[in-house]
């Protein structure tokens, strides 16, 4: 009976250890978007308390933990193709954000001009 308990306990602990160390790899598109959003937040908030709040919001937005984010970069290692794809996606996402920002600014400008109210 005691041997069965010990075996069960060892198996349980082994499964818990394996399960706890099983970090998922973040999809490359999501990784690029999180990366860009974090860079934008760091540039906007600098080193304020608001930056940590924003970082947490970004990770929650993409349902990615900071550990998963960091470990995915480690998985990339020296894989040149993965890094090239990553930066290609990051630049594309950044361009999309810039385009959306310009459209938003243009729309805001048009709605604030009194001459546009009569048309």
pLDDT digits (tens, 9 = 90+) for 35-60: 999 999 999 998 888 999 999 999 99
Q: What is the reported pTM? A: 0.69
Helix (H, G, I), strand (E, B) or coil at 27: coil
Rounded CA gap, 27 and 113, in Å? 43
Helix ranges, 1-119 (H): 2-20, 28-45, 49-61, 66-76, 80-112
**Residue 56: how many CA atoms within 13 Å on its side-chain side?**
5
- What pLDDT was estimated at residue 32? 97
Helix count and strand count (H, E) for the chain: 5, 0
Cα-Cα-Cα-Cα torsion 56, 77, 30, 26, nearest 10 degrees, comes to -80
Tell me the domain boundaries of the chain: 25-117
Contact 69, 31 (CB under 8 A): yes
- Give per-residue pLDDT as tens, 62-111: 999 999 999 999 999 999 999 999 999 999 999 999 988 887 777 776 67
């Amino acid at each position: 009976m005691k041997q069965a308990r010990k075996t069960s306990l060892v198996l349980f602990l082994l499964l818990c250890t394996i399960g706890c160390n099983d970090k998922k790899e973040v999809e490359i598109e999501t990784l690029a978007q999180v990366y860009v959003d974090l860079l934008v937040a760091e540039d906007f908030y600098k080193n304020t308390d608001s930056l940590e709040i924003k970082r947490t919001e970004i990770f929650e937005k993409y349902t990615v933990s900071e550990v998963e984010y960091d470990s995915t970069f480690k998985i990339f290692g020296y894989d040149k193709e993965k890094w090239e794809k990553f930066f290609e996606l990051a630049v594309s996402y950044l361009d999309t954000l810039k385009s959306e920002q310009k459209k938003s600014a243009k729309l805001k400008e048009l709605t604030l001009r009194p001459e546009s109210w009569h048309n």
